[in-house]
Chains A and B, each alone.
Chain A
Amino acid sequence: NAGVTQTPKFQVLKTGQSMTLQCAQDMNHNSMYWYRQDPGMGLRLIYYSASEGTTDKGEVPNGYNVSRLNKREFSLRLESAAPSQTSVYFCASSGLASGDEQFFGPGTRLTVL
């Protein structure tokens, strides 16, 4: 049982480049989330998906798109990366069996030059 996995672990982009962060969970959870974590600002929700086929904006959605590919996978896309998107990105999931507890992935450290 791997829990929540994320790829890549690290990424350096140039301004304007695009990339997709991948997230997968093997806990049969319905809900999945993408957060960014910046120093001194805690975790901020970018997008979430309450169930397969649905996605909703969180606190800071601008500059990002998401796809809930299936129940297991939830990807985050940066179409045109900006230095302000330099951050650590965490994916999380939760399900009925876990109550409301969100389980986090190991994170992706993204630097945009």
Chain B
Amino acid sequence: GENVEQHPSTLSVQEGDSAVIKCTYSDSASNYFPWYKQELGKRPQLIIDIRSNVGEKKDQRIAVTLNKTAKHFSLHITETQPEDSAVYFCAASIGNNDMRFGAGTRLTVKP
């Protein structure tokens, strides 16, 4: 089955700096790659997703890039703010079933 690895496990940045989180996946058939944000004690919420027919997607301060050949995808957050502090999870799946998640990255944005 699919295996997703996520790095780094923790990331601390200064407010206003950029943050980058990277994930790799193993199954070349995977075609859907979402990113979820989870605040402490809350449920995961989708922040951005990308499909395998697209190389990059942006939504305001958040962008995701996908390299199908290398089987890796990355989350980029620019101009970070303290409210960006949370745990971020990447995931990969074929369609939307049997989704596999990375272990998570705890992002801390210091004011």
Contact = CB atoms under 8 A, between A and B. Distances in A.
B43 interface: yes
Contact of A58 (B49, B96, B98): B98
B63 interface: no
B101 interface: yes
Contacts of A31: 96-97
- The B interface, classified by DSSP as helix, strand, loop or mixed, is strand
B97 A107 contact: no
25 contacts: A31-B96, A33-B99, A40-B103, A40-B104, A41-B103, A43-B44, A43-B91, A44-B101, A45-B99, A48-B98, A58-B98, A59-B98, A90-B43, A90-B44, A99-B49, A100-B49, A100-B93, A100-B95, A101-B46, A101-B49, A102-B34, A102-B46, A102-B96, A104-B45, A106-B42
Interface of A: 31, 33, 40-45, 48, 50, 56, 58-59, 90, 94, 99-102, 104-107
Interface of B: 1, 6, 9, 32, 34, 42-46, 49, 89, 91, 93, 95-104
